[in-house]
Structure formats: structure tokens, C-alpha cells
Amino acid sequence: MSKTSEPRSYLVLENYIRGQFVPCQSHIDSYDPSTGEVYCKVPDSGEEEVEAAVAAAKDAFPGWSDRSPGQRAQILNKLADLIEANLDEFAQAESRDQGKTITFARTVDIPRSAYNFRFFASSALHHTTDCSQMDHMGCLNYTIRCPVGVAGLISPWNLPLYLLTWKIAPAIAAGNTVVAKPSEMTSVTAWMLCKLMQQAGVPPGVVNIVFGTGPKAGNAIVGHPDIPLISFTGSTATAQLITERSAPYCKKLSLELGGKNPAIVFADADLNQCIETTVRSSFSNQGEICLCTSRIYVERSIYPEFLERFVAAAKKWKTGDPTDDSNNNGALISKEHLEKVRSFVALAKSEGGVVHCGEGVDQLDLPERTANGYFMPATVITGMSDSSRVMQEEIFGPVTCISPFSTEDEAVSKGNGVRYGLSATVWSRDVGKVHRVARRLQAGLVWTNCWLVRDLNLPFGGMKNSGVGREGGKDSYHFFTEVKSVTIKH
């Protein structure tokens, strides 16, 4: 007698509109990157679902915007409390959905997601406005800031809840309502967040989350005439489409885009600290962070020692099952993305580059459960021309290239020699040098002798093709509000 296989059960997500979960007619397959298997069905939303979400957000706006910053802050703090109370559940879901290690999700993604709500709850209480007197004309001038209305928020797949909450928190703290779309590849923690909204006291329609693809759901959000503002994190190519699509409506745009971030290592750097940190900045989260280091320029006199020590450290950066706490990296987001990253390594080899470790050099020892997952070891390449696509384009994987330089001017020129300008790191004990180089580098963020140290009060964003606008404490408040000048004659 033949056995019939049990039908596989999937996690089926629903849109969250007007405080209710709403089923969708069609769905998209979502994969567990560590196994390569479909485990979740994500709504394939379009104009109809976005229209319903916008209507809900518009209806909720008057009541929400009338609340005081303190009243709104209480709800943001409650959301933070609830995320923290469910931290392990969120971390496990984020790891399975995105491929990152559960350790990274537990120590970085989810704590930061809670902190985003807590930070903007506090920040919103401390903004001030401008005032000027014109006594000779008997006038007093002052400014007020008003929420914009319905904010369209589109977040990426690399830090799913972390970057979604980075947008939702300041938007609603300022009194806006939102229609948000997370990546269709990593939607589960956004859906889990929706389950906490009512418990936290978020009124229906203040936060609406519509799941789906960029070309359908994202396009409907960006092109909706009643969404006056878009905050987007993702690729430069998609941002160009968003800019074109939103142009007829003169929407406010904040675009946080790609990076090809340099590390500049001078001969007087503390190499122990530098190598440990730069391995982490190159490969953390599988290299799938817009701020990751992908080009390392090392002063020629220490280049051989640096290269030897860096490759040795990279070989110790463990890649494997995301549920294993001993692993540093998990799986890349998708089969297509893994193939794209591998194609850059193949291109490097075809152009005469040397692959010192990682892809094609080191074999991964994966448990059977993850044999079909999208894994790639930390990869270090040398010998590339500055004009190569490997050195010019964002790879967004566990790949970094190392090159020597001779002078400070050459280092700055190489660092600035790409179309991106998101972040950079500088390693030197010379205080004057780090100030000088930081000023000359074309990057929105420059870290010296450290990486990814973030004060959320400060502006975040990039130059050149790495974005438009800044977000952070005051910058987010300015973006999510409109300023109005008022003159009173007395």
C-alpha cells in the first residue's frame, strides 16, 4: 500500500488595514534561505489593497494628528515594550525569513527595532521651533511644524523589522499615518508587528501594512495622489523609478540607497583593532548591509602584513546553519542573489584577480538540513583594477576587495572613485589625519577607528548615488513634517 505524502502547510500572511487582518486573493512564495524551501505565502497586493489602506490612513489622520506628542509617545513606548517581550519569537522569525543568524537577529535586528520606537517616542518631545522679532514693523514671526498626512514607507529585505520600524516610528511620532510595504521576501516580522498594534493602543488606520512586490504594491503606493511623502530604502535603480513615478505629484522623497563603502587603513593604524572590526564590517549579516565595507585600501608599507592577517581572520568567520550560535553568517537572501554575488567573484577571476579565501576556495561543511540553502563563505579578493565592475558596483554579499595605496591623496581619490557615497571608515592614530580625510571623503557617514557606531540623533544618509535626504532625530522630524512660517502684526 503506497503512502500519501502529507500536504505541506505554509504560513499565510494577510494585509493589515484599518486595524484588521485582510486576506488577499493571490500570494507570492517566500523561501527559507537556509533550506531553499517555500515556507510562507505573502499577499500579492496591488492597487485595490493600497487604495483601501490609503483610505484607512486618511480617515485616521485627523484624530491621530490631534493627539499630543506625549500621547503618541506613550503608544510608541508600548510597542517597544511588546517587541522586547517577544524578542526571541521575533528573532527566530527574522532569522528564518531572511537567512541571517539567529544570534545577529537577537542581538542587532530586534533590539534596534524596539529602540527605534523608544528613541523617536522621546525625540518627539524635545523639538523646538524658530521665532524672530521685527519690532520696527510691530511684527512677531514664528514657525510651526505640522504632520504631512499619509506617509508611504517602503523597506528592504536585509534588515527587515529594523528598517521598517526606523520609518514607522518617526512617521507616526510626528502625527502622520502610514501605508507601509516591507519586502515581499521578508514580510513575516512586519506581519507579527501588526499583531501588537491593537495591544499597544495604536488606533485603527494609523499603521497599515500592505504586502507585495515593488512593481505592483510599491508602484501603487508611490503613484497614489493622496500619499504626499515617500521614504524608501533599497537599490539605486528602484529609487530612480520612484523618482520618476512620484515626480508628477511633487512628493517629498527620502531615498536611502546603495553603497560601495571604502575602508582606508594608514600605516599607523592599530592593526589588531582594525582587522577585527574590518572583518566584521565586511562580512556581517552576510555582507547584506548597505554600510558594509566592500573596498579596503591599505598603505603600501603595511599591505603584505595586513593582507596575510586579514585573510587569516576572514577564514575564521564561520558561515553555516543560522540556528547554530557558533556561526557568524547564515544564508544569503535568495538563489538569484547568491548567483549574482558569485558572478562577481567569477568576473574578478576572469580579470586576473586573486581569490584568497571563500567562494571557490573554501568548502562549507553544512548540515543536511541546510544542504540546499544559499550559503557563501567570506571571500577576499586582490589584484583588481579600480575601473572593474567588481570595484565599482554594489555586490551586497560577503565579498571584499583589498588594494594598496601610497599617499593620503591617492587613498582619498580611490575612496571617492565610485558613484556611491554612503559611508567610509578611516584607520589611523593621527588625529589631524582622520579629521582631514573624513572631511575629504564623499560619504554621508565616516567612522574613524570604529564601525557602525550610531547616535540616532545624527543625520543618516548618503551622497551621490547613495541617496537623497537624511533621516535621524531632527532630520526625520523635519522630513515627516511641513514647516509653516507665521507672522503676527501687533
The mean pLDDT of 29-56, rounded to a whole number, is 98
Tell me what pLDDT residue 6 has. Answer: 52
216: cell is 505592483
Question: Do 197 and 163 lie in a common domain?
Answer: yes
Per-residue pLDDT band at 2 (split at 50, 70, 90): very low
Across the range 240-266, mean pLDDT stands at 97
Mean pLDDT of 429-439: 98
SS3 state at 325:
coil
Encode 371-393: b = buried (16+ Cβ within 10 Å), e = exposed: eebbbbbbbbbbbbeeebebbbb
Q: Is the pLDDT of residue 386 over 50?
A: yes
pLDDT at 290 (0 to 100)? 97
3 within some domain: no
Q: Across residues 163-173, what is the average pLDDT?
A: 98
Residues 98 and 228 in one domain: yes
Read off the CATH number of the domain in which 331 is found: 3.40.309.10
Decide if 308 is catalytic.
no
- C-alpha count within 13 angstroms, C-beta hemisphere, residue 127: 26
321: DSSP letter: -
For residue 461, being part of any structural domain is answered with no
Q: Are residues 269 and 249 in the same domain?
A: no
Q: What is the pTM of this model?
A: 0.96
- Whether residues 365 and 406 share a domain: the answer is yes
Q: Which residues pair with 147 in a beta bridge?
A: 481
Q: With 80 as the cut, is the pLDDT of residue 34 above it?
A: yes
Q: What is the CATH number of the domain that holds 80?
A: 3.40.605.10
In this model, does residue 163 exceed pLDDT 60? yes
Query: Helix or strand or coil: residue 460?
Result: strand
Quick check: is 374 in a domain? yes
Domain shared by 271 and 214, yes or no: no
Question: Which triple of cell numbers denotes residue 305?
Answer: 602584513
Measured between alpha carbons, how far apart are the two ends of the chain, in Å? 95
Clarify whether residues 475 and 437 are in a common domain.
no
Question: What is the structure's pLDDT at 149?
Answer: 98
CA-CA distance, 419 to 443, in Å (whole number)?
Answer: 11
Count CA atoms within 13 Å of residue 415 on its CB side.
29
Q: Please state the rounded mean pLDDT for residues 196-201.
A: 98
Total count of domains within the chain? 2
Which residue bears the cell 554594489? 394
Choosing from 94, 256, 288, 471, the catalytic residue is: 256
Residue 1: per-residue pLDDT: 40
* 8 confidence band (pLDDT: 50, 70, 90): confident
Are both 306 and 224 inside the same structural domain? no
Q: Check whether residue 103 and residue 223 sit in a common domain.
A: yes
Q: Do 359 and 379 touch, CB atoms closer than 8 A?
A: yes
Residue 83 lies in a domain: yes
Whether 459 is covered by a domain: the verdict is no
Q: Is 29 helix (H, G, I), strand (E, B) or coil?
A: strand
Residue 7 banded pLDDT, cuts 50, 70, 90: low
Check whether residue 367 and residue 408 sit in a common domain: yes
Q: Are 418 and 289 contained in the same domain? A: yes
Q: Is residue 75 part of a domain?
A: yes
pLDDT at 4: 44
- Domain housing 406: 261-448
Antiparallel, parallel or unpaired: β 399-405 and 354-357: unpaired
- The stretch 326-348 carries a mean pLDDT of 98
Share of residues in the chain with pLDDT > 90 (%): 98
- The per-residue pLDDT for 419 is 98
Chain-wide mean pLDDT for the chain?
97
In a domain, 195, yes or no: yes
Does residue 5 carry a pLDDT above 90? Answer: no
Query: Quick one: how far is CA 279 from the chain centroid?
Result: 20
Residue 453 lies in a domain: no
Domain match, 247 and 292 both: no
Claim to verify: residue 70 and residue 122 sit in the same structural domain: yes
**Phi/psi at 314 (nearest 5 deg)?**
-65, -35
Residue range 23-38: mean pLDDT, rounded = 97
